[in-house]
């Protein structure tokens, strides 16, 4: 029996199942070295205690409307960084500054993240991108072709990303930058084999990382990035991402994307045997080998729930995923941790 279209499944989940969030045990999910992907909608006010969390990536995700366009601190301006989580307790730039300080007070590091993303039909591009037509989409994808020079700023896109990080870190106190989807070489989730002829672009991707890493490290920060869609290291090279070269260029943490539920059972059901848990074990082993002897740390994504895409794991599936991958990585990277954190406070549970 053919699986329903993931787009129909996502629409159904968002329409009828958005409030039926699986309840994960905080103590079981936050175990060992744990990082988390979240946005401002994850946090109650007052900020609850989040024991055991080493760091949080405040990920902007689709349609960057803050990272690329930030040009100065405006305390009352809305950041629009609360589009994923269930809460609305922190929304302005002043809120963001206070949240970062509050997390630092718990010895939790805070990293800013964003995607190299153009648009997702039927949503229009962000205003900043409309003013930069040189950042065109890669054909057949929603991602931006990154090897361009920005006419208005008179610098490369990589240099601009580095400058934006420096600005944001100076104002908000970020501890690093995460390069999200679209920064892992050329490719698209809809067709895993498209753009497997891009090994010749390895020097360009490596140079982009080196440019960004120099600024991030110069500001005392850590550079994170997703791997190439959970594929083996040799396939990542075919798409332009040579992990050893990226490590040499300054990549500090590579986040291996393990999504046996979201991809193996959902978005990429037709390629299930390439994205299920067994494949994640095989592929992660090749990533570790590629990075052997480097200083780059490898985390794996422990999938929880994505309220925008409409998928959700279960406590049982998360436990199996953790049992298989904990021994293979330096820690977990929770995706997304919004509901987990929102439910960490009695106040948040009432507001949810």
Q: What is the pLDDT of residue 6?
A: 57
Answer yes or no: are the C-beta atoms of 43 and 341 closer than 8 Å. yes
pTM of the model: 0.94
Is 208 inside any structural domain?
yes
pLDDT of residue 266: 87
pLDDT level of residue 19 (50, 70, 90 thresholds): very low
125 lies in some domain: yes
Percent of the chain with pLDDT over 90: 83
For residue 310, tell me if it sits in a domain.
Answer: yes
The radius of gyration of the chain's CA atoms, rounded to the nearest angstrom, is 19
Check pLDDT > 80 for residue 242: yes
Residue 11 included in any domain:
no
Phi, psi of 97, rounded to the nearest 5 degrees = -60, -45
**Token representation of residue 21:** 């969030």
Report the C-alpha gap between 25 and 344 in whole angstroms.
10
Q: Is residue 121 part of a domain?
A: yes
Joined tokens for residue 316? 């049982």
CA-based nearest residue to 260, from 225, 284, 242, 238: 284
The verdict on residue 19 lying in a domain is: no
Quick one: average pLDDT of 278-292?
Answer: 98
What's the burial of 256, exposed, middle or buried (CB within 10 Å: 0-12/13-18/19+)? Answer: buried
How far is residue 287 from each of residues 33, 67, 209, 299, measured CA to CA in Å? 19, 29, 18, 11
More confident residue, 92 or 270: 92
Q: Domain for residue 123, yes or no?
A: yes
What is the average pLDDT across 239-251? Answer: 98
Strand, helix or coil for residue 2: coil
| Helical ranges in 148-187 per DSSP H | 157-172
State the average pLDDT over residues 230-241: 98
CATH code, domain carrying 342: 3.20.20.80
Q: Domain range holding 154?
A: 33-351
CA 209, distance to chain mean position in Å, is 16
**Total of domains in the chain:** 1
Residue 163 falls inside a structural domain:
yes
- Over residues 206-226, mean pLDDT: 98
E strand spans, the chain: 34-38, 53-59, 109-114, 149-150, 155-156, 176-179, 222-226, 253-256, 297-303, 305-306, 311-312, 332-335
Find out whether 223 and 250 touch, Cβ atoms under 8 Å. Answer: yes
Span 345-352, average pLDDT: 46
Which DSSP symbol is given to 191?
B
Q: What is the mean pLDDT of residues 284-299?
A: 98
Q: What is the pLDDT of the chain when averaged over all its residues?
A: 92
């Amino acid at each position: 029996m053919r699986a329903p279209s993931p787009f129909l499944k996502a629409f159904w989940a968002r329409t009828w199942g958005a409030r039926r969030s699986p309840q994960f045990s905080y103590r079981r999910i936050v175990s060992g070295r744990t990082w988390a992907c979240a946005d401002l909608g994850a946090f109650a006010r007052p900020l609850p205690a989040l024991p055991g969390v080493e760091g949080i990536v405040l990920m902007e995700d689709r349609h960057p409307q803050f990272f690329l366009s930030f040009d100065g601190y405006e305390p009352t301006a809305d950041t629009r960084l609360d589009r994923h989580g269930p809460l609305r307790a922190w929304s302005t730039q002043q809120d963001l500054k206070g949240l970062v300080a509050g997390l630092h007070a718990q010895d939790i590091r805070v990293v800013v993240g964003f995607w190299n993303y153009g648009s997702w039909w039927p949503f229009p591009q962000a205003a900043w991108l409309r003013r930069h037509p040189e950042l065109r989409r890669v054909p057949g994808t929603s991602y931006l072709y990154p090897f361009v020079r920005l006419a208005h700023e008179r610098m490369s896109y990589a240099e601009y990303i580095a400058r934006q990080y420096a600005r944001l870190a100076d104002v908000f106190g970020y501890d690093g930058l995460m390069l999200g989807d679209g920064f892992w070489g050329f490719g698209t989730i809809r067709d895993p084999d498209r753009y497997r002829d891009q090994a010749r672009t390895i020097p360009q991707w490596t140079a982009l990382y080196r440019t960004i890493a120099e600024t991030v490290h110069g500001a005392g920060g850590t550079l994170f990035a997703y791997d190439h869609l959970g594929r083996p290291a040799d396939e990542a090279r075919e798409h332009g991402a040579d992990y050893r070269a990226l490590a040499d260029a300054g990549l500090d943490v590579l986040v291996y994307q393990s999504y046996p539920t979201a991809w193996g059972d959902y978005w990429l059901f037709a390629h299930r045997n390439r994205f299920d848990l067994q494949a994640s074990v095989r592929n992660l082993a090749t990533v570790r080998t590629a990075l052997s002897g480097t200083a780059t740390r490898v985390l794996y994504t422990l999938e929880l729930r994505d309220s925008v895409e409409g998928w959700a794991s279960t406590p049982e599936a998360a436990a199996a995923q953790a049992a298989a991958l904990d021994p293979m990585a330096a820690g977990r990277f929770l995706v997304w941790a919004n509901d987990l954190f929102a439910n960490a406070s009695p106040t948040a549970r009432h507001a949810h």
